[in-house]
Structure 1
């Protein structure tokens, strides 16, 4: 499932290609992907332009000049792809937005969705989300304050969207490795120094993920060399049995709260 760095990459690359352009055609091939009748969805979206794209947690928000918002959550297996007139992608598209010769495909949304919402509805969707870990206002002191109340495994804490928004299975493991902490450590057992180290690792790993374009397999457009580069730079995720780059011991695959988890038992404490 795409996490904060992947959605930030989409935000950046899609903004360069569709902001300010009129939506000339809308095609919906799966009714369950949208939250209103298809005819209504097409009527309200076609003819609008996208004025901005914003990210919140693992969501993207396409702001329309009509005042409405398109909210996308890709969930497991969802991707977006921008195609030019002489380009296409051999995947089933649930929704297609056309901008003249440019088309934005929403693909693999079996669990994901593209909803047409008002600002009020958008606020309701986001009201239970925790703070954005990469926001400048999210200081180490705020993090320490939040951690005072947490119980349970560190892995479970990091992926809790009500605690922090945007971190999922992959980056929680990468953060724990960077902080030299086992993901099964109990959050309430961490010292203040370990919590401070964890905060710094959250900032470092997420920034690194964004810089490397996340881990998505499908490029955002033909010729895209950024998206998915993190696949080749993981510390521990999906590297079971391979030597730890820090101490050489084999990476372990485990399960914590029904989530697959990767870590090094040698240098994570």
Structure 2
């Protein structure tokens, strides 16, 4: 039996995140963008499956931190001791080995492990979990002092998994889109600097006299300046060049005119 996230997760945010990642995984893409490389490890084609498998050290450090928090929650939430041991190990391996391959797995947990291996690690992380897990934890809760129902436990557990996934998503988006550090912004700055390097060779006679001050700026300082200042200068010098061409054209003899 496949235990799906929408069977027990009533929180709308939890459901929306699960559906987002499931849809992205199904279509093989995170977002439609001309910038398809991973902003952290620079993998050329960043697809949905890359989100949880990125080898970037910073991303994996965050991943480990969130799994540690999950492990602490498992210990505090009357989780079966063996589940508390194997689930963090399984998650940390990021699909590189099967759940059934974890050492010292008890015979009682083997049905869950084998079924989850068929479902897959990536699906596990978005809440597609073998129903065997629920049944195993249900028996444990019956014999514990906890007043938490097994469905509440499952909802909380899946919420923790989605929080881990969402953390990777946020890290990736901040890296990609942050105004100063984002990879897209860095690419824009590189293109702008190339444009500045080209335009610094504009001759004074190519612009109106009142605009020649634009050619007297400290170009070393301009290249190190703010993006807005660089953009302003590029647009200003281009406008001045257009004005210069119009003025030159306006004072030139018309074709076909008598000499």
What TM-score bracket applies, with the shorter chain setting the length? under 0.3
Per residue, is there more helix in 1 or in 2? 2
Structure with greater Cα Rg: 2
Query: Normalized per residue, which structure has more strand?
Result: 1
TM-score for both structures, normalised by structure 2: 0.25
